[in-house]
Amino acid sequence: MSEQKIPKDKWSLRNYLKRLDLYNPQQLEMESGKILEYVRNVMGPYVRGERGEPLREYYAPVVELIESSYKKRDFKKELPEALESMIGFVDWE
């Protein structure tokens, strides 16, 4: 993958995730550490409630799903679906 800018907000995170082939397990596994780091850094203020309780309730479950899928090392189904959910949540908001 070509060099990408580090996502600084949820929109640039969404754009980063959209550029990935989420259903290529090998690529996803190679990128997974960076993906998780970006999700934690960008979405941390939402998960901690720093952006308001409604947004915490909105984003915390999908971040937990991403982290859980990463821990399971499920790069074929769960992680791609969790990342698609994150993209959809940002698009919807």
In the chain, what are the domain boundaries?
A: 23-92
Q: What is the pTM of this model?
A: 0.88
What percent of the chain lies above the pLDDT cut of 70?
A: 96
Predicted pLDDT of residue 2: 45
Tens of pLDDT, residues 42-76:
999 999 999 989 999 999 999 999 999 999 999 99
| pLDDT band for position 92 (cuts 50, 70, 90) | confident
d(CA 20, CA 24): 9
Encoded tokens for 80 = 């791609």
d(CA 79, CA 76): 7
Burial class (CB in 10 A: 0-12, 13-18, 19+), 28: buried
14: pLDDT strictly greater than 80 = yes
